[in-house]
Amino acid sequence: MTIDRNSLPKITSEVRRTWRRTRQDRSAGGVAYRYVPQDGATAPAKADGATGESLSAGALQIALIATHGNERWQLPKGSRESGETSIETAIREVEEETGLSTENIQFLQTIDYWYWDTYQKEVPELVHKLVDFYLLHVTSGELNDSSYEVDDVQWFTPEAALDIMTFEGEKVVVQQALSLLSSTRT
């Protein structure tokens, strides 16, 4: 079999520059959750972060954010700032994007993926993103979508969250959180 070299794509200097333009981005985020009593009122938080209601008395809710014109529903997350630990990033990003104060319950997992960053770039960058996710219990605050990065923020039941979420990797994180929460529920 003979290959016609003229039919192959040309490797231009533009393509070569693109291949060299790769970077890694470390981020963190969380599955922010609360239990709501059967009457619909939010369970009050105690100083130790435990709710005033028994866990079996309430319905579990998870906070999700919407981006890209409400097209993408996802977990709140964002990039680390200089000198910040992963858990500090997760707690800060959840508060910035949802308005909720949280406490760390447990590290869940790191997911990684690749994407092309084309935002305000002459030559796109290939980004390898690693995101550490934590299980975060909501201790105070009200949902607030005032962040410029967020179009909307809402509470969802676990089933509704898994149904509406855009990214499969984040669905796996939520399923892990649900498994952990169900094993600790009274």
Both tokens assigned to 39 = 């009457």
- How many CB atoms are located within 10 Å of the residue 100 CB? 25
Whole-number Cα distances in Å, 68 to 61, 74, 86, 142, 152: 23, 11, 25, 22, 10
Would you identify the CATH topology of the domain 32-184?
Answer: Nucleoside Triphosphate Pyrophosphohydrolase (3.90.79)
Q: Which of 105, 90, 109, 102 is nearest to 184 (CA)?
A: 105
| pLDDT, position 55 | 42
- How many CB atoms are located within 10 Å of the residue 21 CB? 15
Within the chain, strands assigned E span 22-37, 58-67, 72-74, 77-79, 100-117, 125-141, 152-156
| pLDDT, position 6 | 62
CA distance 70 to 152: 7
| pLDDT, position 119 | 78
pLDDT at residue 66 greater than cutoff 80: yes
Query: Higher confidence at residue 44 or residue 112?
Result: 112
Give mean pLDDT, residues 24-34.
Answer: 97
| pLDDT, position 57 | 52
Q: Where are the domains of the chain?
A: 32-184
- 36-63 pLDDT, tens digit per residue, is 987 655 544 433 333 333 444 589 999 9
Q: pLDDT category, 145, cuts 50, 70, 90? A: confident
Give mean pLDDT, residues 118-144.
Answer: 91
| pLDDT, position 13 | 57
